[in-house]
Every structure is written in structure tokens, then in C-alpha cells.
Chain A
Amino acid sequence: MYEILKVRNITKSFGGLTAVNKLSFDISSGETVGLIGPNGAGKTTLVNLLCGSYYADSGEIEMDGKHITRMKPYQRCRMGLSRTYQIPRPFPELTALMSVVTSALCGKKRTNRGLDDAAAEATHYLEFVGLFSKRNILARDLTFFELRMLELARALATTPKLLFVDEVMAGLNPGEANRAVHLIARAKEEFGLTIFWIEHVMAVLMEAAERIIAIHFGEKLAEGTPEEIANDEKVIEAYLGSGWRKTDK
């Protein structure tokens, strides 16, 4: 257990709106960390900052002892950071297999990686998420759940150390959501991942996460085990609402 990601006082504002305000936390390797917060709390902005889609105004991000605050997204990806998107963003004109091949080609640097080698490896990830039978179908023709799974396969194919999962449950029915959660748990075991999981559905994180960080208006409200978070006065007030009972789970 070492600290794979260290975040120190990162701040990001859009015009007058401060989306993320002096946020600091650590993620240890092998952990599943949950992130909760009400709508507009800055959850997705935080992931965008960590993955490099935006640059932080101030503060530092450190991964494996290297400063990645100013690194570009592809450099961070090659260091072992990968993400899925809240709304699936597939390559619509590519087949399912070829989308995964692209990330197997470009993810972590491996010597003498050709198209065939990448295709062989991509097949494994596609099989893992259960899309092997749909490998030759264009991504734009897949269903919403299949797109989610394709995103996951694409993220896994870059061989990440740390995987950001952005609201995997959104728009899925309970059966599909259950499959998705189990798949992520299996991926964590099989590929030895560290998972940073953003979620609205509290019940999922209560089971899956070992530690939860709650944010509100870009500031950290509380951090601790799921039980501590569920019983935290401030979190209940800001996010869960007065209607929340632990027995509801």
C-alpha cells in the first residue's frame, strides 16, 4: 500500500464560479475510493482535472512520485491513468473491436506493438466485458449499456493503474447496473486496479467503496469509511437530505 495519487490544494474556477476549491486527498494503491456530492458539486470537473482535460489553476497533482499537474492527457494515460465518461463517448464510426484496439495501441508504451498484437489483446478486454459477439458492430449501433461496457473495455485496454469511473450507473436499469458493478469489482481483482468511483447512487458506494470523499461546492465536506460518511451531519444535510435513513439500504 503506497500512495498512488496525491492531490494537494487544487483549485479550478470558470470565470467567477469556483468549481473545485483547495481540494486535497490521497489515494492508496489497491483501494476503491468513492466520491459523492450533490449536482454541480464539481465531481466531474475534478476528474477532468485529474485526467488532464483541464489544467488546475493552482495546486499540485502527484502520481507515483511524479508531478503530473502540467502533463497532457495522453502522457497521463501512458503513466497509468484512465477514465470512463459519464455520458458514453464512443468512436461512432469504428467497430467495437477497433475502438478497443485503438486504446490497446496507444495506451501504455510497449515496444513493437503492431495492429495485430493490439487486436489480439483487445479481444481479451472485449470478452471480459461481454461484447465479443458484437465485435464487428459499429459503435453507433450499440445499445446504451453496451456503450458503457465498451467504454470500460476501452479504459481497461490502456492498462491503467488507476481507473476513474464516472457515474457508471446513470441511465441503466437495476439489472444492468448490477452487472456493471460486479464487472468493475472483477476488473479490480483481475487487473489489480485502484478505482476512483464517482457515483450518485449511495447504496452502491456503501458496498463497493472502502473510503468515501464527500464534496460540496468544490470543497471537501468529509472523508472516511462509508458508515462514517452516512452518519456525518454535514453530508446528510448537504447531500443525502433529512429523508435518508440507514435502514433504507
Chain B
Amino acid sequence: MVDAEIKRDRIIIRYKGKKWDWMLEPRYWRNTFIWTACLLIFPILCYFISPILLNTLITANLYAAIAIPLGLMTVGTGRLNFGPNFFVGVGGYAAAILSIAYGWGPLKTLAPAILISLISALLFSPLVILARGLYYVLLTLLLPLVFLEVTFIYSDLFKGDVGLAGIKLLMDLGDVKINFLMIAYLSIFLVLLYLLVVNKILKSRYGLIMAAINDDEEVAHGIGVNINMVKILAFVFSAGMIGVVGWFYAHYFGTFAGITYLPLTFMVKILLVIFIGGRAQVFGCVVGGYFVAFLEMILIATLGNIQPVVFPIILLILLFALPEGLFGIYRKRRYREYLPTLHVRR
């Protein structure tokens, strides 16, 4: 017979010589399945309650999908990249231009978009070795802004002023509502994939080496870490992952304009995602993504035009009030954890 027993900190269930125990204290829960289930149920709920929320949901997932590789990049290079949206622009424009020029669908443009993001990242990867501290921050901050100027200068190719239109859609199932639901699930799948991959990397030996680089580059070099290779690999790999989000944006909306993704306002949102989620906490990025996307929706509904001004103010307040982020409140400090928190090198 089923035999349940309540101990001080756990419930033990015995059945035919098998034993399951369930920790009562929330911090010991293996929350992977619970969180995944929550993520997967959310779109269905939105579909029945208010389909407009699906758009916010997709936005939230895509913010998270940018922030997760950015966490990997930050740990791996030991520097905080302030221009992750550059790779969103690169991946998005690659997909958009190819789709318009050759009429390619999303499956065909995916590989070129990743490839071009990787190549552009490889082109700019010497920054990771040469620049450090504020110089790195400034240079990476300038990259998307310079790219934005380029889209205006070469207007016949990039259409910087009006944006590229006529990109093939991600999926077309006939019904608009079903379409949105499927795209929401696709974005959730992307987030879960990124979480899995980045978490695996950070828990592996390469994650440990990255943690060492993040702490002290010179010492890491001295104990036999090929720091330049690790830093460039981390930079290029996560840039490719961010490029996929650009591809997603292009095919999701059917239009792509650099002015939406390359300016500072977009970048501030990504920073907010990271700081709310907790520094270098990959799982926190999802929490941060949802927080920012829904906050944005509420602010647009209530405040209107001054909404872009409010975001940096919230960012500043959070930096002082919650240095560990919302996820940091949930996460108790555990000494066994060797993954570092981020710090910007001066």
C-alpha cells in the first residue's frame, strides 16, 4: 500500500519497496519541471484569456533569449558587452535581405543568418583581447550605433529610414490566433534550448575556465589557460546565438528596421533584463525577460510617450535597491556554487 510519512523537512512516500521524497522547503525543490510547465501553460492561458498578451509573451521570450547568451558572453570574456543588439541587427538584416532578395523562407535563411553573425563576431573579436574596462564598454556600445548609421547611409540596401518589408513569415497556419500561439511556443522552445545549452556549458569544465577568466585573467593565463582562445570562442558562440534572435524578429514581424533594435532604448531593456534577473544567472534571465516585457506593456498603456525615459530610471533604482536582482532574492547563497557573479572590470 501507499505509505506517506511527514518528516520535519520532507514528505516520504513508500510504495512496494520504492521510495520518493519531496522536500518541503522551496529552496531545495528541483524546479526545472515546475518552471518549464509554467512556461508551457502560459501561452495556452493567454490564448483563452486575452490573445493580445501572446505578443507580449513572445517579446518576453526574445528578451530572455538575448540575455541568456549575453550572460555566457559576459562570463566567458570577463567583460560586460553593452552592445548585444548589434548581433540582433546583423542576424536580422542577414535574414531579411536574403529573404527579400531570393524569396527564401525562414528555414533557408537560418543558416546564413547564424553564419553572418559568427563572421561579424569573429571580425570584432579582437576587441575582447585588446580593450578592457570602460574602453570595452564604450567600443561595444558604439558598435550598434555605428551600424545604425550605416543602415541610413546605405539606404538602398538596408532601407534604414523605412525598414525592410516583405520578409516571409515564420509560419502561416491560416488562423492569426493559432499562428501567434505557435510562434509563442517556438520562442519558448528557443529559450529552453538556450537555457539548456548555456547551463551545460557553464557547469562543464569550460564554464569553470570561464569563471577563472572572469575572476582574474592574468592568473588564469599563468596557470595554463589559453585565455585568448576561450574569450574569442565565448564571444563568437554567444554572438551566433544572439544572431538567431535577430532572425526570429525578422521573420516574426515580416519587417525589419534597424531603428527598432539598434538604438540605446532597446539596449537598456536588455540590461534591465540582466539586472533584474540577477547577474550571470541564466535562469534569472527568463524572470527578467517576463518582468521587463510586461512592465513595458503596462507603461505603454499608462504613460504613453515618456515610457523610454522611465526605463533607465527603473534600471538605476534597481541597481541600488536590488544588486542581486529579483532572482537573487529567491536564490539563497550556496557555497558549492562556483559560477561567478558578473563584475565590470575597471
Identify the A interface with B (CB < 8 A).
Answer: 51-53, 72-74, 77-78, 82-83, 85, 89-95, 98-99, 101-103, 105-108, 114-115, 118, 136-138, 154-155, 157-158
| B29 located at the interface, meaning its Cβ lies under 8 Å from any Cβ of chain A in the complex | no
| B268 located at the interface, meaning its Cβ lies under 8 Å from any Cβ of chain A in the complex | no
Check if B223 sits within 8 Å of A103, measured CB to CB: yes
Task: Say how far A12's CB is from chain B's closest CB, in angstroms.
Answer: 17
Which residues in window 115-159 of B have CB below 8 A to A? none
Interface centre among A93, A94, A136 (most CB of B within 10 A): A93
| B312 located at the interface, meaning its Cβ lies under 8 Å from any Cβ of chain A in the complex | no
Task: Say how far B74's CB is from chain A's closest CB, in angstroms.
Answer: 13
Which A residues touch B336, using CB under 8 A?
A: 95, 136
Known: A74-B226, A93-B341, A94-B340. A101 touches B208 (CB 8 A): yes
Which B residues touch A108, using CB under 8 A?
A: 224
Check if B224 sits within 8 Å of A74, measured CB to CB: yes
Which B residues touch A90, using CB under 8 A?
A: 216
| B187 located at the interface, meaning its Cβ lies under 8 Å from any Cβ of chain A in the complex | no
Known: A85-B219, A114-B205, A136-B335. A93 touches B211 (CB 8 A): yes
Identify the B interface with A (CB < 8 A).
Answer: 204-205, 208-209, 211-212, 214-216, 218-227, 335-336, 338, 340-341
Known: A95-B338, A102-B209, A115-B208. A74 touches B215 (CB 8 A): no
Please name 20 further chain A to chain B contacts, defined as beta carbons within 8 Å, in addition to the given A102-B212, A115-B205, sorted by A numbering.
Answer: A51-B222, A72-B221, A73-B221, A74-B221, A77-B223, A77-B224, A89-B219, A90-B216, A91-B211, A91-B219, A93-B340, A94-B211, A94-B212, A95-B335, A99-B212, A103-B224, A105-B209, A106-B209, A107-B223, A136-B335
Task: Say how far A158's CB is from chain B's closest CB, in angstroms.
Answer: 6
Task: Say how far A183's CB is from chain B's closest CB, in angstroms.
Answer: 19
Which A residues touch B223, using CB under 8 A?
A: 74, 77, 82, 102-103, 106-107, 154-155, 157-158
Check if B222 sits within 8 Å of A91, measured CB to CB: no
Known: A93-B214, A93-B340. A107 touches B219 (CB 8 A): no
